[in-house]
């Protein structure tokens, strides 16, 4: 009976409609006269979810029978976005549902638009985790994602008087059809308490962590279907619950507040995603989140490992754990603790297992983003862990001392503990010591990792431990789903959709780069995408855009190192130049639409001022009839994955202009080029590798090189260097009050005095690069050829390639396709 009824439902129109109506009436308790568009979305989602669950179960069954080595991707962030459209495409059900839903009187595109984003991440790091899950599923790897089910995702950004204001993102208001709560999968997590020393039966001195308070972690599963495979993997997101629902003693004493206090405190742990991107803030609750996540995840992994009763020594052959930055690094300490305190292994046996299990990805070398936690804070919250950290640091420094006798400064530099009042734990050192591999996310960045923050560690461990895995993006979401027009054209030319699982095949599209017919079709798709974006912009800002203009986009988190301020200064320069032009001169100008989008961390004052400057300039520029044909300036509010899906396919040019050496990789740069746009960028992060692939004629590079940056800074600091004349002009214009009361911008302009990010040095080269862009855009056919060649050169930047890199070189895992019998 089980086999008979658990088979995956068929996908003919009538069955889909039946399933839709069953969910509408039985799951949602709706009726035909009470079905709005949102309810229709929910019913569709539940119906699609049934297919996911079937495949998920089959995959789990297959993996438990075959018991392969698994990889666990631990990340505090998963920036998933919407699921419905992506699931339909990956399951190859889009057309079936389109027809079936159409038959019921709804349009699938409308329903897709009803879904709220799952925005459990800040930016690049979180979105990378989501792309990696798509690739792991598509390539049939036995993998799990582990994370936190925040009730509030990244805040919603609204503009009030041109300033960013933040609103809570309570994304679960109307339920979430994509998650499956597993009340049967839950673990206790301890905080605080004390450490007891005792002698065990064999006379060994041992420690146990006792007392304190406990909260419960409950699993919530998010199925991730692969593209054109039966495999469907899982992201397990933990939510916190109180251990005891209610303190009856306090309640009976009439102390109502106290009786719910603990409950509230427990639930608080997974309440909100911290909105800082590349900037460390040492909040206790954040540390609690990290340990809560780490503890629950390890208990789950160990439970699965123990099912097959293998000896502990086989753990590293069965389990590979990837740390997405240092945020889950306590996991290293926690595994050591479990092995010595609970499983009775010796320190050395345990440490050998730990260091063959973990690997760590570094996403930044910026000092302000490197995690360090105050020792007193960890001691209070996790007393046993603090002991273990000191102990492993001691053993580590003893090894360093042996190799480099008497080198006190080296010991200080390499120590896990930063001395001071208070002392701090350097999480990156802990992660590097506890891992068998450390990787950076693009060639340049991986070099910087080896020569800056981990230079001493390379000398100590050898360079083989430090590797590069260049980031990638999933072509399923970022081309097939976001740009169906282009995806269809490519499939037509390549004779099928196989390229979506092997992006290197895109190369064959280069053959059409000179074909005028193909160029026209390619650019017509771009044009339609620009119309789609213009409609969206009209909707959210009221501004009308011409799709004939060059669409120039910079969308990413706001950060001084990403230099959105250089972009807006450039816009001001362009605007003032337009104002000084004669009619005849104006007629030769390439019309331009400059679009910004991105969130600033709520406490990042300068970043918020940059937004205010952009919106202030936009108010002036967009209201100026003299220039309106030639320049429009837009700030799209609340940038998220869904906005990116509209924005990226519509860009002619995108800007990735970080000071050289600061942007570890960047991943939107890859998405833009894949969608037939060109990059204006610095010689930084993955821009460099994109340049190598597309060729120097198909990317606009400018600016100081990484190797020059330090000298330039030094020079600026000690030699009274004058600011670039054109930049001075821009500053003067802002100070004239032309864009509103200039006093508010003084703190932003003040940053240019020390100019850490080299805006002055790069400003003229930046403007010159812009002129090259304008000149190139005038020749339509040549521009089309550049875009086609560039897009067709992007094979390397599929996250499938990144994942295969990790799987073969770091995780040592092989694919396990779920076969028919499961």
Residues near ligand 26Y (CB under 6 A): 122-125, 128, 276-280, 363-364, 369, 371, 441, 471, 663-667, 685
Element (H, E) at 146: strand 143-148
208 catalytic residue (yes or no): no
Residue 188: CB minimum distance to ligand 26Y, A: 27
| Annotated catalytic residue, options 556, 592, 612, 786 | 556
Residue 304, number of CB atoms within 10 A of its CB: 17
Residue 118: CB minimum distance to ligand 26Y, A: 17
Residue 797: CB minimum distance to ligand 26Y, A: 11
In the sheet where 550-555 sits, what is the strand order? 631-636, 592-597, 550-555, 653-656, 678-682, 700-702
Using the minimum distance from each CB to ligand 26Y, give the nearer residue, 601 or 731: 601
Residues near 614 by beta carbon (within 8 Å), at least 6 away in sequence: 564, 568, 596, 633, 635
327 catalytic residue (yes or no): no
Residue 163: CB minimum distance to ligand 26Y, A: 23
In the sheet where 232-242 sits, what is the strand order? 180-191, 213-225, 232-242, 143-148, 70-74, 319-324, 358-361, 437-440, 466-468
User: In 277-407, which ranges are continuous DSSP H helix?
Assistant: 284-306, 315-318, 330-337, 347-355, 375-381, 383-403
Using the minimum distance from each CB to ligand 26Y, give the nearer residue, 631 or 670: 670
Query: By three-state DSSP, how is residue 659 classified?
Result: coil
Using the minimum distance from each CB to ligand 26Y, give the nearer residue, 481 or 658: 658
Residue 628, number of CB atoms within 10 A of its CB: 15
Using the minimum distance from each CB to ligand 26Y, give the nearer residue, 278 or 675: 278
Burial 352-379 (b: 16+ CB within 10 A, else e): bbbebbbbbbbbbbbeebbbbbbbebbb
Using the minimum distance from each CB to ligand 26Y, give the nearer residue, 685 or 795: 685
Residue 368: CB minimum distance to ligand 26Y, A: 9
Query: Distance between CA atoms of 152 and 312, rounded to whole angstroms?
Result: 38
Backbone torsion region of residue 145, taken as left when φ is above 0, otherwise alpha when ψ lies between -120 and 50, otherwise beta: beta
Half-sphere exposure for 796 (CA within 13 Å, toward CB): 19
Query: By three-state DSSP, how is residue 646 classified?
Result: helix
Which DSSP state fits 508? G
Nearest CA among 502, 479, 506 for reference residue 493: 506
| Annotated catalytic residue, options 562, 612, 713, 761 | 562
288 catalytic residue (yes or no): no
Residue 137: CB minimum distance to ligand 26Y, A: 19
Residue 685: CB minimum distance to ligand 26Y, A: 6
Using the minimum distance from each CB to ligand 26Y, give the nearer residue, 739 or 811: 811
Element (H, E) at 134: helix 124-138
Query: Distance between CA atoms of 602 and 604, rounded to whole angstroms?
Result: 6
Residue 475: CB minimum distance to ligand 26Y, A: 17
| Annotated catalytic residue, options 557, 574, 608, 786 | 557
Residue 727: CB minimum distance to ligand 26Y, A: 25
Nearest CA among 361, 354, 365, 454 for reference residue 395: 354
Using the minimum distance from each CB to ligand 26Y, give the nearer residue, 19 or 665: 665
Using the minimum distance from each CB to ligand 26Y, give the nearer residue, 123 or 147: 123
Which DSSP state fits 104? H
450 catalytic residue (yes or no): no
Residue 132, number of CB atoms within 10 A of its CB: 29
243 catalytic residue (yes or no): no
> Is the bond preceding 209 in cis, omega lying within 30 degrees of 0?
no
667 catalytic residue (yes or no): yes
Using the minimum distance from each CB to ligand 26Y, give the nearer residue, 351 or 672: 672
| Annotated catalytic residue, options 326, 541, 615, 667 | 667
Pairing assessment for the beta strands 424-426 and 437-440 based on DSSP bridges: unpaired
What counts of helices (H) and strands (E) characterise the chain?
A: 34, 24
Query: By three-state DSSP, how is residue 229 classified?
Result: coil
User: Quick one: 439 exposed, middle or buried, by C-beta within 10 A (0-12, 13-18, 19+)?
Assistant: buried
Query: Distance between CA atoms of 682 and 651, rounded to whole angstroms?
Result: 18
| Annotated catalytic residue, options 286, 363, 713, 801 | 363
Using the minimum distance from each CB to ligand 26Y, give the nearer residue, 49 or 286: 286
Residue of minimal Cβ distance to ligand 26Y = 124
Residue 560: CB minimum distance to ligand 26Y, A: 13
| Annotated catalytic residue, options 437, 450, 501, 671 | 671
Question: Which residues lie across from 597 on neighbouring strands?
Answer: 555, 636
Residue 362: CB minimum distance to ligand 26Y, A: 9
Using the minimum distance from each CB to ligand 26Y, give the nearer residue, 108 or 128: 128
Residue 375: CB minimum distance to ligand 26Y, A: 18
Tokens read off for 649: 């396919």
Query: Distance between CA atoms of 326 and 328, rounded to whole angstroms?
Result: 6
Q: Where are the beta strands (DSSP E) in 5-130?
A: 70-74, 78-81, 118-120
Place of tokens 């350097």: 426
Using the minimum distance from each CB to ligand 26Y, give the nearer residue, 123 or 153: 123
Query: Distance between CA atoms of 82 and 223, rounded to whole angstroms?
Result: 13
Which DSSP state fits 475? H
Q: Which residues are catalytic?
A: 363, 556-557, 562, 667, 671
């Amino acid at each position: 009976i089980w086999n008979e009824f658990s088979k995956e439902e068929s996908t003919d129109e009538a069955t889909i409609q039946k399933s839709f109506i069953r969910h509408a009436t039985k799951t949602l308790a709706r009726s035909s006269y009470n079905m709005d568009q949102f309810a229709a979305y929910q019913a569709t989602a539940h119906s699609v979810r049934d297919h996911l669950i079937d495949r998920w179960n089959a995959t789990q069954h297959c993996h438990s029978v075959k018991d392969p080595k698994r990889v666990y991707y631990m990340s505090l962030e998963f920036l998933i976005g919407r699921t419905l459209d992506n699931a339909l495409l990956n399951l190859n059900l889009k057309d079936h549902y389109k027809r079936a839903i159409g038959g019921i009187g709804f349009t699938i595109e409308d329903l897709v638009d009803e879904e709220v984003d799952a925005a459990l991440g800040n930016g690049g790091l979180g979105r990378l985790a989501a792309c990696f899950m798509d690739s792991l599923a598509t390539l049939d790897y036995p993998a799990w994602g582990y994370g936190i089910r925040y009730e509030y995702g990244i805040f919603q950004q609204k503009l009030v008087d041109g300033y960013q204001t933040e609103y809570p993102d309570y994304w679960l208001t109307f339920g979430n059809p994509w998650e499956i709560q597993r009340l049967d999968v839950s673990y206790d997590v301890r905080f605080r308490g004390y450490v007891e020393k005792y002698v065990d039966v064999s006379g060994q001195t041992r420690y146990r962590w006792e007392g304190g308070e406990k909260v419960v972690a409950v699993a919530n599963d998010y199925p991730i279907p692969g593209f054109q495979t039966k495999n469907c993997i899982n992201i397990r997101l933990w939510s916190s619950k109180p251990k005891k629902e209610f303190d009856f003693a306090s309640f009976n004493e009439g102390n109502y507040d106290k009786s719910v206090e603990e409950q509230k405190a427990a639930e608080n742990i997974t309440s909100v995603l911290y909105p800082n991107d590349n900037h460390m803030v040492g909040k206790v609750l954040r540390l609690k989140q990290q340990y809560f996540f780490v503890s629950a995840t390890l208990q789950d992994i160990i439970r699965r490992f123990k099912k097959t009763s293998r000896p502990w020594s086989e753990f590293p052959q069965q389990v590979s754990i990837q740390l997405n930055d240092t945020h889950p690094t306590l996991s290293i300490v926690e595994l050591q603790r479990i092995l010595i305190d609970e499983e009775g292994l010796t320190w050395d046996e345990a440490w050998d297992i730990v260091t063959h299990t973990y690997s760590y990805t570094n996403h930044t070398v910026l000092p302000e983003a490197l995690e360090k936690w105050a020792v007193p804070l960890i001691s209070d919250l996790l007393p046993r862990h603090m002991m273990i950290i000191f102990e492993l640091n001691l053993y580590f420094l003893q090894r360093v001392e042996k190799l480099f006798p008497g080198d006190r400064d080296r010991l200080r530099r390499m120590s896990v503990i930063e001395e001071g009042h208070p002392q701090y734990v350097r999480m990156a050192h802990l992660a590097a010591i506890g891992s068998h591999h450390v990787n950076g996310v693009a060639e340049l960045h991986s070099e910087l990792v080896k020569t800056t923050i981990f230079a001493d560690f390379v000398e100590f461990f050898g360079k083989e431990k430090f590797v590069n895995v260049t980031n990638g993006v999933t072509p399923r979401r970022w081309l097939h789903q976001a740009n169906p027009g282009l995806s269809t054209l490519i499939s037509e030319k390549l004779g099928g959709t196989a390229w979506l699982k092997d992006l290197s095949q895109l190369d064959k599209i280069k053959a059409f780069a000179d074909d005028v017919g193909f160029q026209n079709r390619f650019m017509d798709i771009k044009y339609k995408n620009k119309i789609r974006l213009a409609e969206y912009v009209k909707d959210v800002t009221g501004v009308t855009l011409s799709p004939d203009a060059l669409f120039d986009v910079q969308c990413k988190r706001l950060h001084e190192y990403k230099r959105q301020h250089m972009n807006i200064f450039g816009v001001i320069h362009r605007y003032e130049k337009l104002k000084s032009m004669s009619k005849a001169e104006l007629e030769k100008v390439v019309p331009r639409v400059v679009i910004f989008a991105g969130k600033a961390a709520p406490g990042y004052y300068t970043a918020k001022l940059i937004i205010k400057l952009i919106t202030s300039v936009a108010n002036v520029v967009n209201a100026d009839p003299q220039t309106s044909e030639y320049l429009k300036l837009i700030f799209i509010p609340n940038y998220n994955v869904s906005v990116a899906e509209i924005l990226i396919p519509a860009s002619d040019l995108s800007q990735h202009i970080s000071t050289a050496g600061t942007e570890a990789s960047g991943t939107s740069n890859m998405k833009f080029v894949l969608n037939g746009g060109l990059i204006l960028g610095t010689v930084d992060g993955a821009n460099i590798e994109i340049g190598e692939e597309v060729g120097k004629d198909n990317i606009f590079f400018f600016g100081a090189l990484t190797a020059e940056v330090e000298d330039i800074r030094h020079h600026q600091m000690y030699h009274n260097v004058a600011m670039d004349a054109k930049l001075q002009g821009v500053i003067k214009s802002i100070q004239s009050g032309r864009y509103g009361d200039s006093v508010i911008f003084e703190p932003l302009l003040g940053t240019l005095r020390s100019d850490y990010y080299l805006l002055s040095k790069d400003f003229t080269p930046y403007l010159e690069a812009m002129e090259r862009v304008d000149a190139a855009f005038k020749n339509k056919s040549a521009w089309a050829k550049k875009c086609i060649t560039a897009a067709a050169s992007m094979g390397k930047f599929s996250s499938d390639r990144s994942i295969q890199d990790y799987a073969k070189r770091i995780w040592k895992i092989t694919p396990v396709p779920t076969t028919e019998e499961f």
